[in-house]
Amino acid sequence: MGPEMDKLGVVTTFLHNIVVYNIPLLYGTVGEIMVEKSGSLNLGVEGIMAVGAIFGYIVGCYANSLGVGILTAFAAGALCGLLFAVLTVSLQANQNITGLTLTTFGLGVYFFVGNGVKAVRWPAMNDYPAIKEGFADIAIPGLSQLPVVGRGLFDHNLLVYLGVAVALAMWWYLRYTRPGLRLRAVGENPASADSVGVNVKRMKYLHICLGCGIMGVGGYYMGLNMSGSFNSSCWINGYGWIAVALVIFANWNPALAILGTFIFGFFNTLRVSGSSLAAAFPGPLGWLAAVPSQLYQALPFLITAVVLVLTSVRKREGSGLPASLGLNYFREER
């Protein structure tokens, strides 16, 4: 049974896959943390990622530039954010419903634009060397030479590093900068922030757009990781929803979101690598092969449910949940 498995190789591939397939979750989570820190609950992550993905991919290909693709994905996501902000901040629409609507809207735009372009000429990633090379793995000198973790963690594409950098930068921004402090104040108690001269509306608009832009880049990543092949199922594949739950898992802390993404990714990736691990280590891990694939499919969502239960029993102290999350701020009612 089984070919001669390179045991270390299997573990390396497993680690590598955890990163490769789950980084979009980090983008979605970090973007949503920024939005939620401004006191807005945006459930439209799935749709926003889809919009960022489709525009980023198509424009990026036609420009034959990964940078243009990233910027376009960011701009498309930010535009969705602007729509959300106009509806919820200026017009005081219900945030939950607007977010859900945005999901349906985003997926509709994804298929509408995608099918439209496909009817004319779909850009195949193979034809755009600059995109393909831009998305190729870049080994970090030194670190990537380490056994197992080297290839597993330090040999990835540009957008993986960018995602981690964005998460760390946002952690620093929220914790150590004045605008970050103001943003947290807006999320906790917009009336108080308003009374000390913070422009609540502007803070909300700015950070909703920024956060949604980051989600859009995450969507673009998913498109690239699928080699840009456009079919009847959406690239985002439910990741947007998992990101919403990961925000709670990470306790609204972008640095913790990195950890959360990888813990979550571990379970997510078991579905792909479980049987390989079982074949490479039949003694300790052989049972992994006996787990039905349906359970692996359900695992990410089961973990989500467990996380939500665990975090909801946690005490309010130490929670990063912005106090005014989900509540619209109406200045005249102050």
Report the interface residues with another protein, using CB under 8 A.
1-3, 5-6, 9-10, 13, 17, 21, 87, 91-94, 97-98, 101, 104-105, 108, 112, 115, 118-119, 124, 126, 222, 225-227, 229, 231-233, 235, 237, 271-273, 275-276, 279-280, 282-283, 286-287, 289-290, 292-294, 296-297
Residue 308 CB, shortest distance to another protein, in Å, is: 23
Residue 220 CB, shortest distance to another protein, in Å, is: 15
Of 282 and 320, nearer to another protein (C-beta) is 282
Of 2 and 179, nearer to another protein (C-beta) is 2
Of 82 and 226, nearer to another protein (C-beta) is 226
- Within the chain, how many helices (H) and strands (E) appear? 14, 2
Residue 67 CB, shortest distance to another protein, in Å, is: 22
Q: For the chain, give the number of residues.
A: 334
Of 253 and 275, nearer to another protein (C-beta) is 275
Rounded Cα gap, residues 24 and 214, in angstroms: 10
Distance of CA 23 to the CA centre of its chain: 7
Q: How far apart are the first and last CA of the chain?
A: 71
Residue 319 CB, shortest distance to another protein, in Å, is: 30
Of 169 and 289, nearer to another protein (C-beta) is 289
In Å, how far are 112, 173, 215, 275, 303 from 244, measured between CA atoms? 25, 21, 11, 29, 13
CB within 8 Å of 291: residues ≥ 6 apart = 274
SS3 label, residue 131? helix
SS3 label, residue 94? coil
Residue 99 CB, shortest distance to another protein, in Å, is: 11
Of 124 and 302, nearer to another protein (C-beta) is 124
Nearest in space to 50 (alpha carbons), one of 101, 98, 110:
110
Residue 145 CB, shortest distance to another protein, in Å, is: 19
